[in-house]
């Protein structure tokens, strides 16, 4: 079988699948980012100061990951989606509006992490098959970081 290789020497059939999954992850991160930003702005109550800072940390980190994912898609030779209508239609994370209750916001963050982690594990598996160390490295960095955050935010609720 004669594989077609991209500019970084990876099979284009496998990298096309990776780029599609990375674009879906990109869409999910954008909605996660906007939700965290909204929680940051709208949080109220006795845990305001604590959660206000935590939500800022989340959206700041998501913004960095958004850029890394988009640049990885470009490195693989494809175009990252870049319209908000695509993000909304492609994301499994739903937009959340007007949430000021900390427990509801944290629950939404945990749900978002579950979706992100599932997508990242799927991408990790595909990147291993494609011998794509760059994508593999990104996912290998994201997954343990987010698993720890899931533990911490779950502990906050319990």
pLDDT at 1 over 70: no
105-144 confidence digits (pLDDT tens) = 999 999 999 999 999 999 999 999 999 999 999 999 999 9
Bridge partners of residue 5, in order along the sequence: 11
Q: Are 100 and 20 in contact (CB under 8 A)?
A: no
H helix intervals, the chain: 12-42, 48-75, 84-90, 102-129, 133-157
Domains delineated in the chain: 12-157 (1.20.1260.10)
| 72-111 pLDDT, tens digit each | 999 999 999 999 999 999 999 999 999 999 999 999 999 9
The torsion of the CA quartet 16, 126, 75, 3, rounded to 10 degrees, works out to: -60
């Amino acid at each position: 079988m004669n594989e077609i290789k991209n500019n970084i020497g990876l099979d284009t059939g496998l990298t096309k699948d990776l780029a599609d999954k990375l674009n879906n992850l990109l869409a999910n991160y954008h909605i996660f980012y906007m939700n965290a930003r909204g929680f940051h702005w709208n949080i109220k109550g006795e845990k305001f100061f604590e959660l206000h800072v935590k939500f800022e940390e989340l959206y700041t980190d998501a913004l960095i990951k958004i850029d890394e994912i988009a640049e990885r898609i470009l490195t693989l030779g494809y175009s990252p989606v870049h319209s908000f209508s695509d993000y909304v239609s492609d994301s499994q994370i739903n937009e959340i509006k007007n949430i000021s209750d900390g427990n509801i916001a944290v629950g939404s963050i945990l749900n978002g992490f579950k979706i992100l982690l599932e997508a990242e594990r799927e991408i990790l598996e595909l990147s291993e098959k494609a011998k794509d160390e760059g994508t593999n490295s990104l996912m290998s960095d994201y997954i343990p970081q987010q698993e720890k955050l899931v533990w911490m935010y779950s502990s906050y609720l319990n």
